[in-house]
Structure 1
């Protein structure tokens, strides 16, 4: 078992960064029943005038003993529920977002986040990685056989948006399984093996990109912008919530507003892990600060994997040292695949967000759900990836 074997980081080789299927439906202690029920009826509450009153009255089941004794899968399942309830409370009225979370939500999500090493709001981990299940448990983890568990409004477009990401993460698990042998081959200077592994990685990324291409099949840009996106915003760098929101009852906050970035696909660990493997760097400018900040919003074990890959990979150096045209082309082809993925992400950001009419005080077409100037941010990282293509003419 090598340094980058994902089992060392608490992850399953068959799923990569994904949590277990059905994790969000893990049976919880009876004291959590009201929270689970609120999550289940959330689509109904969001079209009523009772949501905030109902959520403010929830009991708090997150005791010291629960945090100490409950298995991590149960805490993550509870975190999924609370993450959605918190977002729904804040953004139930887009024209009048809540500037404070009641203690019934603020205290339990704060404590759960602290226990899990996460932030106290909806993150990519709760929205995607831990929020899916199989339809046919004997079938594959792919579109057509996976479903979204916790939902906001429960529309087809909402589910498809999440499930495309789930399917990408599932396929990317195969790519993560190649990290350890690729790093080993690079360290050993085994150009033949490295070339074969690059070809395997290229095939996996062809499938990843083909899955990403399917987003428009069942997620319409207008519906996404007006019925999906409003609920996944955070409260850092969000003009609708200057300074953030108050987490009532949370002593650590001192009663001050707290600002956290919202859920965004840029919190996925796939592309940053590829950057680390391929030794792709990004220029140190104000936009890189967003990239560095988002790293703290990933689950701790994912952060450790990326940081380890960054520390041990000599892949780019090995390719340059080998001076082999076929090996260089193999490396470049993987870089092109990552560029293609980033290009598609940029295109979707343009059509699903930037080109939409601005509606609602919190649903800005210039600022991403993670609080970033997303068009500049995504374009910068796409262009910087492309600059890492290696010249093959002299080899």
Structure 2
């Protein structure tokens, strides 16, 4: 990975972005973005809590439907709720005792405590829904508990205050990206070496579908450093100027992003094997939110928090991941002005604070320096830009296929875990990138790929062709041209075909469901 040199406003804004993770203090948010760790935490999430939180840890160890030793847990007998009320004290004061060497809050430890309270919160609130789903799945989920006991409500709220995120299960700081450890430290983040810390159903078995679902996300995000570094390189260089010297640096940064997205796509495709579609609904019950969900028509009261007013929070969702939003912002992909895009904006609050700040800066800086405009002014850069868009399209298309096969075909419940409408939510974003690709291709790429190709060899005075250096360069240019031309033609055929298919599929599912 080529590192950028010098300093620019993005490096001044994010002084840790080039730092070695092992040198970072536990007093900063573990999701501080670096070019070494990307959007993963900069150090392995703690698998165990400080001794003061042993009652919480005990409940979570006994909670899963199938425990680590293979025996039934509290959720298997629907006994978690009573156990919480009987055993868990209010440990809010212990949260404020989690301090780093400099006396500031130890945010690495606070995030681990937040993760564990998030699991207990969701398991407690949704346990009745799981029981109903197991006993009578055709009758839906019923109602969840609408009062969260203060022994959960106050500590999770205090952790959330320290981390500046909502006090509910989130994708990064709880369910997925802070919920993994490794079996053998020497093997690092190889997929086969990843293990879950917390699970609802059978996820403590690393070969289970629940573990596969979560750990596949970790496996993808471990490739995010290439996206972060590529974005930093592009924005830093364009801030300095847009001369020809900038062109190759920007192009190479785009190539780094493309290589990273290739690896992410490979990891993503293995989801089908790691987590079986037929198993998903059984553990999905526990990651629903409160907002827009039939299980919580009146919200949830957090006892002892905010004058006991009913609260609403969106549920865990892969839409809270930061990789594709980073590319949305860097590539200046505009979303339509719809209620669905408003939900997309609401999801931002559930990302860790460092992710939110980094993405917001990329969005404003990409617009300021004109990444898209710079890209379309050069035949090579515009092709790299179009290929980056294609990776966003491919990611979102796979996500749509997962949603269709894991959820839409298997349940009539109309709402995703995050509270968005299940049929129309992903197509809202996917249509945006499909339409931008068509626009960029037709306006900037098609004229280039349809132009005349110059003579590729030079002749001597007698008219005989000779392999001169200039002629060889023209041959190489011609070969490169036809290589890209074939790629573009295949790419755009896929784009137009998928747009037509998506139109038909969304219309059919909406008609069948009366949407």
TM (norm. structure 2) is 0.71
Aligned ranges for residues 309-348 of structure 1 at < 5 Å? 309-313=362-366, 314-320=370-376, 323-348=377-402
Alignment partner, residue 301 of structure 1: 354
In the TM superposition, what are the counterparts of 1:19-30 in structure 2 within 5 Å? 19-20=41-42, 22-28=44-50, 30=51
Which of 275, 283, 286 does residue 219 from structure 1 map onto? 275
Q: Distance in 1 between matches of 2:228 and 2:425?
A: 25
Count of paired positions: 383
| Matches of 1:146 and 1:4, distance apart in 2 | 33
Greater Cα shift, 78-87 or 19-28: 19-28
Task: Give 1:14's aligned residue.
Answer: 36
- CA deviations over 1:320-371 (Å, ceiling 9, x no partner): 3xx222111000000000110001001101111111034xxxxx2x210000
Q: Within 5 Å, which residues of 2 pair with 1:126-165? A: 126-155=174-203, 156-165=208-217
Q: Structure 1 residues 325, 129: CA separation in 2 closer, same or farther (over 3 Å shift)?
A: same
Which residue of structure 2 aligns with residue 42 of structure 1? 63
Q: 2: CA distance between counterparts of 1:138 and 1:85?
A: 31
In the alignment, the residues of structure 1 paired with residue 349 and residue 404 of structure 2 have an alpha-carbon distance, to the nearest angstrom, of 26
- Alignment partner of 1:246: what SS? strand
2:163 to 116, 132, 146: 116
CA RMSD of aligned residues (A): 1.8
Report the 3-state secondary structure (helix = DSSP H, G, I; strand = E; otherwise coil) of the residue aligned with 1:296: helix
Q: Deviations over 1:94-138 (max 9, x none)?
A: 134111111111111111111111111110021111111122212
Answer whether contact 1:245 1:259 (CA < 8 A) is retained.
Answer: yes
Higher Cα Rg, which structure? 2
Higher RCO by CA contacts (8 Å cutoff, separation 6 or greater)? 1
- Larger displacement relative to structure 2 (377-386 or 78-87): 377-386
Which ranges of structure 2 fall in alignment gaps of 5 or more residues? 1-6, 18-30, 65-72, 130-141, 449-515
- Structure-to-structure mapping, 1:1-395, within 5 angstroms: 1-5=7-11, 7-8=16-17, 10-20=32-42, 22-28=44-50, 30-43=51-64, 44-57=73-86, 58-63=88-93, 65-66=96-97, 70-94=105-129, 95-125=142-172, 126-155=174-203, 156-187=208-239, 188-189=241-242, 190-225=246-281, 227-250=282-305, 252=306, 254-313=307-366, 314-320=370-376, 323-358=377-412, 364=413, 366-389=414-437, 390=440, 391-395=444-448
User: 1:197–1:13: structure 2 CA closer, same or farther, 3 Å change rule?
Assistant: closer
Q: Residues of 1 paired with 2:259 and 2:392: CA distance?
A: 12
**In the TM superposition, what is the alpha-carbon distance from 1:262 to its structure 2 partner?**
0.3
CA distance in 1, matches of 2:425, 2:411: 21
Q: Give the alignment's TM-score, normalised by structure 1.
A: 0.92
**Contact 2:39–2:322 (CA<8 Å) still a contact in 1?**
yes
- C-alpha deviation, 1:86, in angstroms: 0.4
SS at match of 1:329: helix
Distance in 1 between residues matched to 2:296 and 2:310, nearest whole Å: 10
Deviation, structure 1 residue 195: 1.7
State the shift of 1:67 in Å: 5.9
**Cα distance, 1:174 vs. partner?**
2.1
Q: Following superposition, which runs of at least 4 residues in structure 1 exceed 6 angstroms of deviation?
A: none
